[in-house]
Structure 1
Amino acid sequence: MRHDAQVTSSESFPRQKARTRGFQLGRPRGLKVIGERVLFVRSSSGLDPAGGLWKLDLGIHAPVEECLVDAAALLTTGELPAAELARRERMREVTSGITHFTTDKSGTVIAFAISGIAYVSVLGSTVHTRELPTPGAVIDPRVSPTGQHVAFVVDGGLWVIDAHNLDAQPQLLCESTAETETWGLADFIAAEELDRLRGFWWLADGSGLIVERADNAPVGIRWISDPAQPANEPVPHRYPAAGEANPIVELWLVPLTGTRKQIIWDLAKFPYLATVNAGESGNVVCVLTRDQRTASINRIDLESGQLVEMAARTDPAWIDVHGELPFLTADGALIEIISDAPTDTNRVARDGVFISPAGLQVNGVVDSSSEGLLVLASPDPMEQHLY
């Protein structure tokens, strides 16, 4: 965190923690490395709650941070959608401004939202940032790998717009036809229990998307009151309690032009959509049984819409979900993190064969290339390093 002149040695720890929102303000996060360019989100100081978009160019002799988008200049008093508020709560997000961004493959087209308004920035000799026309408050804008389009969710429906045509208007791809139906949002179980916070993925060629459809109609209602506002009426909230009905969760292939098709699997046997990874080498989907002891890892056949099982994993206790794994490498190998019970270690596996040593607890895969994997791992519970 940057030095702040208003911090004094007499300021108590609780006050420092409250002022800096858990020491999050001013800290770089959401780093994305593309070639010699590093993009990240950070506020200007330990007092500033508004995250901006920054760049660090590693290709110059003395790298200097550059603020590409000053979120404070774009902040409005607009209300965030309820789904976005819930999403931020699950992310433990305590800041404002830019909290997340996505880029195209080259890292020159960037999409983000501020106060429910979608923006796109194009990097060149200068930075051009503009607001995108949308039909309402936006959730989770994501730019296509080609940089041509931006997709986003409004009122439970999935929309797409040309990122460069100034006269373009948003196109509705998937419309929500009921209050309990959403397209492109992670269902409650995925977001709260499986740490999956997104509900749509661009295909590598930008021709369409893989989209989650969730229907919460079977889920029981709980009534939530606000202790801080006792005069307000309790609001209904559909909560899939243990042992009770779950939402209906589906995946669909949605082309930018043409007819969408449902991706078929045994929903009764595998009700949980754990992870989706869309890449140039193939699109991988992992689904779980309700007891979370069996996982089915599948490749999507884009022609038929069927899932083709690549591997099945079982665990007598519990199968952990690790980010957006499994995924396919450039040469088609399946990369997973598997619990190795005899050594009590989470290990990286390539096509089912362990490639990380026993005793090194692998927590996630940061990057993959032809030279190997960059992983986040712990040699002991008190430390975490890159390997």
Structure 2
Amino acid sequence: MQSFDDDNSKKKNLKRSRSNPCNMPVTDSNILDDCNIFPVEEIVQYPLPGYVAPTSVSFSPDDSIITFLFSPDHTLNRKVFAYDLKSSKQELFFSPPDGGLDESNISPEEKLRRERLRERGLGVTRYEWVKTSSKRKAIMVPLPAGIYLQDLSSPKPELKLPSTPCSPIIDPHLSPDGTMLAYVRDSELHVLNLLNNELKQLTYGAKGSALTHGVAEYIAQEEMDRKNGYWWSLDSKYIAFTEVDSSEIPLFRIMHQGKSSLGSDAQEDHAYPFAGASNVKVRLGVVSSAGGAVTWMDLLCGGTDQPENDEEYLARVNWMTGNVLTVQVLNRLHTELKILNYDIKTGQRSVILEEEHGTWVNLQDCFTPLDRTSKFPGGFIWASERTGFRHLYLHGTNGNLLGAITEGDWMVEQIAGVNEAAGLVYFTGTYDRPLESNLYCAKLFRDENQPLQAPVRLTRSKGKHVVVLDHHMRNFVDIHDSLDSPPKVLLRSLQDGSLVMPLYEQSFTIPRYKKLHLEPPEIVELQANDGSTLFGALYKPDKTRFGPPPYKTMISVYGGPCVQLVCDSWINTVDMRAQYLRSKGVLVWKLDNRGTARRGLKFEGSVKNKFGSVDADDQLTGAEWLIKQGLAEAGRIGLYGWSYGGYLSAMTLARFPDVFRCAISGAPVTSWDGYDTFYTEKYMGLPSDNPTSYEFGSVMHHVIKMKGSLLLVHGMIDENVHFRHTARLVNALVAAGKPYELLIFPDGRHMPRGQRDRIYMEKRIWDFIERNL
């Protein structure tokens, strides 16, 4: 392969040497002292450089105060701070009396919840404002020790409800009127009256059984992005809740092989629904917040392995005015979704909307009830991908379509707020570029006989914007970052996006950023074999240190649905493993193949029944593009990834042995018949319906062709992608006589969390790359 520099003598001088630990050109002795500029420990140090800005931003009920989680010492241990908009003063609002949440005081239930949320934060991880008719300003903070209330005018918090490790408080939420607190304890739903401290248990019969009341089941949390198992009515008089019955799901046992103890402490059982098998049974009840009999809605989800079940998954629950309960249910094949309205007194229902698509129906959180006004009889906003891109539509109370709110070859992401009086809806989306996320405004009510107007952009800088609107629809908090800018927090006018005041900004003299010589990756475009535009990101080594290309190359892979890696975000600039490899003279490349997120349903749907096919083909296309550009050379390219990325790394190595030399496969799904129902069947159908797709999509099917080196990394108590995936692949490798390397973490779940484990893993990863490229 020709280099950019055709001077053969220069090529000889720039030849890499494995005896040089920094992997630099051997002729440049002046820079050998830079070997320790980027120690491997930097890869695993959190927060990442620049990611110390406030999070969990919220407005007080009267919009006079902005609260947020923040760590003054720039660690993961956060407290609640308050910023007074009138006085422009910031003060500490809540500091955990006992230090708050840390890795030593987390209950088993909380540990699993944090796995579902991919949560790393410590100290305070969430809070809620108490919404009352009085001028009192207070927040509720759940901690391992219990539930605290903190009044802004009080120097000390009040412990309202103690918690214990053996009986922890799960998922506490305040009532809309601020007078009650609902929570789950011992699998039952309870309510605490905050005015008189009276406790009431609302549900019975679950404790000690295979039932739970008010807790979202595993599939809801992991795959449906539904974290809640109960919902307050708007007037605080009722609570809708799920009853989950897992009694008919065979338990999957995970042994804690690294523990010195035996017995129940060294094992855990999970009701895990495998592809093609039955899901848990879920039904929906409504109970008065004052207690009393439960009214069960006419609904039963799950409990069968039959593909024709059109109400398999309870996807979303919302309350509308007048105590109408609105429920979204999805069929087993993910091609039909229904919105149901329930009479909570009788449990009877009516279908108000049906959504169908031959590819699949993506769940989203854009359903927004609208009040009845003098100009509008009421209804709701709905988001549909009927055109191939997610857009907003206005519907009447009975579900009748009144018109489109947005349109075009771009997608709406989330509704940020609705100003019904002004007839405006605010949302984030990709109107300007699919690699960015901006806040836009559109008319709620379309002008008759007029074409739909383009949305108005309210965020001004390129990159990603996460927004929080105030209650009066006057201002919004803009949390902005880009490849060139670490996160900053600004208060802007909702009228035109103009700056009201900066709340938190960081300079580019971030110590770690400067010390490690981090540089943003270069974003490029290329074409897939079907003509689709693909986006890639390049982390190029420093030419002055490592000479001209081609370079040893590692491809950072995810490639699965619902995720976009390549975007205009600071998270890519501080991808510490990519930057570490770059500092070692390795070119790092990322490519979002067909099937990944934020590009529309046609692009995403390319992988329907084709896991390991189209996605791996595109990764090959990316590698060939690098070779054609003279940046890489065949046989000196590797891959690394985790979860779906671990799967795709191993699959691509096996399918294209003449191009890829090695792969690091972390927590991979190696055969889709061993993963869960919801995710697998959405994209691959049922195993009984698509045996050929399942066979081709299994890494084991391609092992016989594998030539390169493979490092498998997995936690042995991973309750999401079970260790058996790696074990099954090892069996296939042994049977085929293929060498492999194995790195296991006996106490690790889906990702190693301990600092010691992560440092050890990164050292092993670099050692593997250095030996094999």
Query: Structure 1 residue 142: deviation in Å?
Result: 0.5
- The one-character-per-residue Cα deviations of 1:273-322 (angstroms, maximum 9, x if unpaired) are 11112354643211111111111112232222223221111111111111
Q: 2:405 is matched with which residue: 330, 340, 355?
A: 355
Q: Evaluate the alpha carbon distance shift between residue 170 and residue 182 of structure 1 in structure 2; reply closer, same or farther with a 3 A threshold.
A: same
Q: Evaluate the alpha carbon distance shift between residue 328 and residue 362 of structure 1 in structure 2; reply closer, same or farther with a 3 A threshold.
A: same
> Which residue of 1 is the match for residue 160 of structure 2?
132
Residue 161 of structure 2 aligns to a residue whose secondary structure is coil
**Residue 269 of structure 2 corresponds to residue 216 of structure 1:** no
> Which residue of 2 is the match for residue 305 of structure 1?
347
Q: 1:71 is matched with which residue: 74, 85, 96?
A: 96
Q: Is the 8 A contact 2:101 2:123 kept in 1?
A: no
Instruction: State how far apart, in whole Å, the 2-side matches of 1:25 and 1:44 are.
Output: 12
**Superposed, which structure 2 residues align to 1:1-387 within 5 Å?**
12=38, 15-22=41-48, 26-33=52-59, 34=61, 35-47=63-75, 49-58=76-85, 60=86, 63-71=88-96, 73-75=98-100, 79-106=105-132, 108-115=137-144, 117-123=146-152, 125-126=153-154, 129-134=157-162, 136-165=167-196, 168-175=197-204, 176-226=206-256, 228-229=258-259, 233-255=266-288, 256-265=290-299, 267=301, 269-280=310-321, 282-323=324-365, 325-331=366-372, 332-341=378-387, 344-351=388-395, 352=401, 353-370=403-420, 371=422, 372-379=424-431, 380-387=433-440
Higher strand share: 1
Q: Is the 8 A contact 1:81 1:139 kept in 2?
A: no
Residue 133 of structure 1 aligns to a residue whose secondary structure is strand
Q: Evaluate the alpha carbon distance shift between residue 24 and residue 258 of structure 1 in structure 2; reply closer, same or farther with a 3 A threshold.
A: farther
Q: Evaluate the alpha carbon distance shift between residue 173 and residue 198 of structure 1 in structure 2; reply closer, same or farther with a 3 A threshold.
A: same
Query: Structure 1 residue 204: deviation in Å?
Result: 1.2
Q: Is the 8 A contact 2:295 2:345 kept in 1?
A: no
Relative CO higher for 1 or 2, CA cutoff 8 Å, sep ≥ 6? 2
Q: Evaluate the alpha carbon distance shift between residue 288 and residue 37 of structure 1 in structure 2; reply closer, same or farther with a 3 A threshold.
A: same
Higher helix share: 2
Query: Structure 1 residue 32: deviation in Å?
Result: 2.3
Query: Structure 1 residue 116: deviation in Å?
Result: 5.2
Query: Structure 1 residue 346: deviation in Å?
Result: 0.9
Cα RMSD of the aligned pairs, angstroms, is: 2.6
Q: Which amino acid aligns with 2:82?
A: K
Residue 85 of structure 1 aligns to a residue whose secondary structure is helix
Q: Which stretch of structure 1 is more off in the superposition, 17-26 or 88-97?
A: 17-26
Q: TM-score, normalised by structure 1?
A: 0.86
- Percent identical pairs in the alignment equals 22
Instruction: State how far apart, in whole Å, the 2-side matches of 1:368 and 1:38 are.
Output: 20
Corresponding residue pairs, total: 369
**Structure with the greater alpha carbon radius of gyration:** 2
Q: Which amino acid aligns with 1:68?
A: F
Q: Is the 8 A contact 1:112 1:119 kept in 2?
A: yes
Residue 345 of structure 1 aligns to a residue whose secondary structure is coil
Q: Is the 8 A contact 1:37 1:56 kept in 2?
A: yes
Q: Is the 8 A contact 2:101 2:122 kept in 1?
A: no
Instruction: State how far apart, in whole Å, the 2-side matches of 1:240 and 1:81 are.
Output: 24
Instruction: State how far apart, in whole Å, the 1-side matches of 2:156 and 2:213 are.
Output: 30
Residue 157 of structure 2 aligns to a residue whose secondary structure is strand
Q: Evaluate the alpha carbon distance shift between residue 249 and residue 93 of structure 1 in structure 2; reply closer, same or farther with a 3 A threshold.
A: same
Q: Which amino acid aligns with 1:218?
A: E
Question: Which structure 2 segments of 5+ residues have no match?
Answer: 1-35, 302-308, 373-377, 396-400, 441-773
> Which residue of 2 is the match for residue 3 of structure 1?
none
- The one-character-per-residue Cα deviations of 1:334-372 (angstroms, maximum 9, x if unpaired) are 21221133xx32111111432013133111112223132
Instruction: State how far apart, in whole Å, the 1-side matches of 2:335 and 2:69 are.
Output: 37
Q: Is the 8 A contact 1:50 1:71 kept in 2?
A: no
Instruction: State how far apart, in whole Å, the 1-side matches of 2:209 and 2:50 are.
Output: 35
Residue 109 of structure 2 aligns to a residue whose secondary structure is helix
Q: Which amino acid aligns with 2:57?
A: L
Q: TM-score, normalised by structure 2?
A: 0.45
